[in-house]
Structure 1
Amino acid sequence: MLQETTQTELFHIYYKRWISVYKEGAIRNVTMSKYFMTHQWLVRLAPTLKINDLTRIHYQELLNHYAKEHERQTTMDFHHQLKGAILDAVDEGLIPRDPTRKAIIKGKQPRDKKTKFLNQFELHTLLTTLTLPPEINWDWFILLIAKTGMRFSEALALTPKDFDFSHQILTVDKTWDYKSNSGFAPTKNQSSTRKIQLDWQTVIKFSELVKDLPEDDPIFIKCNQKVYNSTINEFLTRRCKQADIPIISIHGLRHTHASLLLFAGVSIASVARRLGHASMTTTQKTYLHIIQELENKDVDIIMRSLSNLT
């Protein structure tokens, strides 16, 4: 039986129960961990805050304290994760009015970001420095992500069974839960389940690499092996330094893949499907700067075409 909530209950206790009731089993583990992290910060910043004391000024003070140690976007995420529970508390009559209304989101200045993507020459230079032996290693992992634009967790989950070499197709229908090391997990969303066309060079190389491997086991890691995103990013950093190119992350290879396709004239719709985006809007927002640059080129083409009309 659920515990009855009162207006004098500590807010962080209500919030933890709200996560359990509304979020547990309904969202992915990686998202769930973000809610738990928000709860930990709530305990740290407002351990004695009661539900009936949650006014606009108290809520703004809570956000301000959080913003002192976080960037604005992270503070925005913190705000949205709290807001869901607070609005439910308003609906239940525990809080008379919405204290999140007109909240001001602050935050520290963003840190210098790594280069988001490489140009074609830089990517080519990187790939030529990779050590690609007859056995699977992390260099092959880097090559495959550069060629497909897969997410880190998607590439970790690949098995020999996912390759259809005769049709040059790679099926992405699962991820590897590397954070909790619990094995295979669902894809990020329904659109993330997809088939990616492979070039013939990649088909030839990987058909040899995986031919003697168990068809249902991951090809890049052992089932009981713990792997960290940071470890592979450090490996890629060393390769970038060897190639004397800008340092990017594994996720940056995904951005590189999409960017090169867009510059090559591939439609936004096709890029969105290949990346497994939920909608073209996601692709447009992520690669807005590239799309705007391509639109500027289109204007030049349009003007030249029109000037030739007599």
Structure 2
Amino acid sequence: MLDETKATALFVDYYAQWVQVYKEGAIREVTLAKYKMTQAWLKKLIPELQLCNMTRITYQQLINDYAQHHERQTTMDFHHQLKGAILDAVDEGLIDRDPTRKVIIKGKTPAEKKIKYLNQFELHTLLKSLDLGKEVNWDWFILLVAKTGMRFSEALALTPKDFDFAHQTLSISKTWNYKGNGGFLPTKNKSSVRKIQIDWQTVMQFAELTKNLPPEEPIFVKKQEEYEPIYNSTVNGILERYCKKLQISTISVHGLRHTHASILLFAGVSIGSVARRLGHASMTTTQKTYLHIIQELENQDIDLVMRSLANLT
């Protein structure tokens, strides 16, 4: 138990035990993996540090050492994953004072990241070339992600029951554990639970495709005795081959999500509506992700304002 730990114990051991007691079974596997990654970095950076020697200077040096290899936001996440364990150690009297107080978060300058997406003509070219037969295949998966902007794991978890063809909606309420042993998992966050409006053509296509499928089984995951493992590299490979063959920009499945959002934004759909459709926790996430598109739209708005003012004579 944690209360049996002594102040002379190694911090890395305390942290490992803390994660096991407080985090395992309480958070999503993908989040738990981040805590385990933090644990691995502790073994690398402070393998011999005792709890009683965790001071503000020691902690700041740890953050500085980690920041040499990571961007500031990643370093901030590292700090937050450590802070919970450290505050508990302070409460238990294993560390005298909170060493995280007034910590300065540093980090490498982030590389400029420009999201990859298709323009409307390229997307039309891609969708027109898909092999959409009577049987479920990955081309149907590509079509659905392009039409809805769903995350990869969300699309894998879809069942025929999630479609409401009468009201032209698609319910997103779960994800598929493709990185583990299969099975349904909760969505990324509460905002990810949502209903997506779909066009009538997609309704007709998927009503026909799914009519004889088990209503509560995932559409895109095959099952013999067990569910077959799924790799996003498989779908990315198919998509890449299409892009090269059609001589359009090469993107990933996640790039289809960006494509969906960018086309809506350029069409004049509000940021709030796009954020809800994508399942973002807040509009801030949408604004940060699609900043360069929003800036392009603002430039168009300025031109429109100037033309409108010029006509006021």
Give the TM-score of the pair, scaled to structure 2.
0.89
Partner of 1:150: 150
Percent same amino acid at aligned positions? 69
Partner of 1:270: 273
The alignment partner of 1:167 has SS state of: coil
Letter in 1 for 2:285: T
| CA positional deviation for 1:11 | 0.7
Partner of 2:246: 243
| CA positional deviation for 1:3 | 3.6
d(CA) in 2 for partners of 1:70 and 1:231? 29
| CA positional deviation for 1:95 | 2.8
Distance 1:292 1:155, change over 3 A: same
| CA positional deviation for 1:56 | 3.7
8 Å Cα contact 1:258/1:271 also seen in 2: yes
| CA positional deviation for 1:127 | 1.9
Worse-superposed segment, 62-71 or 12-21:
62-71
RMSD over aligned CA atoms reads: 2.3
d(CA) in 2 for partners of 1:7 and 1:305? 71
Partner of 2:295: 292
Q: How many residues align?
A: 309
8 Å Cα contact 2:8/2:51 also seen in 1: yes
Distance 1:219 1:304, change over 3 A: same
d(CA) in 2 for partners of 1:113 and 1:287? 11
d(CA) in 2 for partners of 1:74 and 1:230? 25
Unaligned runs of 5+ in 2: none
The one-character-per-residue Cα deviations of 1:151-206 (angstroms, maximum 9, x if unpaired) are 11110001111112222211111111111124011111222111111112211211
8 Å Cα contact 1:115/1:246 also seen in 2: no
8 Å Cα contact 2:2/2:18 also seen in 1: no
8 Å Cα contact 2:3/2:92 also seen in 1: no
Partner of 2:127: 127
Distance 1:284 1:108, change over 3 A: closer
Distance 1:122 1:195, change over 3 A: same
| CA positional deviation for 1:73 | 4.1
Matched, 1:258 2:255: no
| CA positional deviation for 1:272 | 1.4
Give the TM-score of the pair, scaled to structure 1.
0.90
Letter in 2 for 1:264: A
Unaligned runs of 5+ in 1: none
Partner of 1:24: 24
Letter in 2 for 1:237: E
Distance 1:247 1:115, change over 3 A: farther
Partner of 2:305: 302
| CA positional deviation for 1:108 | 8.0
Alignment of 1:112-191 (within 5 A): 115-191=115-191
| CA positional deviation for 1:248 | 1.6
Letter in 2 for 1:10: L
| CA positional deviation for 1:211 | 1.1
Distance 1:171 1:155, change over 3 A: same
